[in-house]
Amino acid sequence: MKIALAIAPENALPSAFVVFRGLESSIRKAAELGYDGIELALLNKDQADIGKIRKLITEYHLEIPVVSSGQVFAGSRLWFTSPDRAIREKAVEVFKGLVDVAAEFGAMVNMGRVRGFIAEGETQETTEQRFKEVVEQIAGYASKKGVKLILEPVNRYEINFINNLDQGVDLIKKLGIDSLGLMPDVFHMNIEDDSIEGSLKKYIDYIDYIHFADSNRLAPGWGHLDFRSIVNTLNEVGYNGWISVEILPEPDPDSAAKQSIEYLRKLIPTA
């Protein structure tokens, strides 16, 4: 397993859910702390200077496993299941841009809250149908570029559509889109899944990437999740992908990033 840290460019919105901001300093610090890669949170493709990012990750020997899309929802208010066709079309356009960026780095693109929710007065069926139409368009584009999309179940207090791994896998099976995988976040699983270890084991064949945050969304080790047991389970089932640290930058970004890697390296030795 490899360990990544969520970061964003300097001009990212305040709502960007990352530990560090500013490409140059974030990449340098992540490398110095001993991370293997960075997860790049983007509002749109214009935020990414491909040449500059390539130069930095080459210089610091880091990989970019995932381009994340939280700001597309939080900042631009775009969501796949919106009843408004114009919003859905704009979401597809922006998301294709993120796929373009991901393709440059052999990365995947995550779908968290941007997948949207069940709007007032609408049904699960209508919502799933809209999700299907949008994801088919994006997945068609992404698979031509060799980019995988990953769906992140998010807890009920943030969204009302796809909260746990059972629901995520049900939908993935129903859609039958090969380039669509599952991305558990143990913070959300702690709220929604019957058992973190149980669901990870059960759905390992669907899992392409995992977010780590402790129970209080602070760095691993500063809450009450049992990361030793979670990592043991992942080892048992042969998970060999990325673990990405997506936490609140508290009490300050440097301490949070340092605690996370120091704590996790004891459980996940350098590959």
Interface residues toward ligand LER, by CB under 6 A: 17, 70, 112, 152, 154, 158, 185, 211, 246
Interacting partner of 130 out of Mn ion, ligand LER, none (Cβ under 5 to 8 A depending on kind): none
Distance in Å, CB of 185 to Mn ion, minimum:
4
Interacting partner of 95 out of ligand LER, Mn ion, none (Cβ under 5 to 8 A depending on kind): none
Does 193 bind Mn ion (CB under 5 A)? Our answer is no
3-state secondary structure labels for all residues of 92-145 = HHHHHHHHHHHHHHCCEEEECHHHCCCCCCCCHHHHHHHHHHHHHHHHHHHHHC
CA 178 to chain centre: 18
Contact region for Mn ion (CB under 5 A) — 20-28, 130-138, 199-207, 238-246? 238-246
Among candidates 75, 6, 3, which has minimal Cα distance to 44?
Answer: 75
Does 39 bind Mn ion (CB under 5 A)? Our answer is no
Can you tell me which of 211, 231, 253, 268 binds Mn ion, judged by CB under 5 A?
Answer: 211
CA dist 161 and 72 (Å) reads: 17
126 or 155, CB closer to ligand LER? 155
Two tokens, residue 244:
């990405």
CA dist 203 and 200 (Å) reads: 5
Distance in Å, CB of 269 to ligand LER, minimum:
26
CA dist 152 and 271 (Å) reads: 25
15 or 240, CB closer to ligand LER? 15
208 or 246, CB closer to Mn ion? 246
* Residue tagged 């769906």 (tokens): 151
Residues in touch with Mn ion (CB under 5 A): 185, 211, 246
Active site members: 152, 246
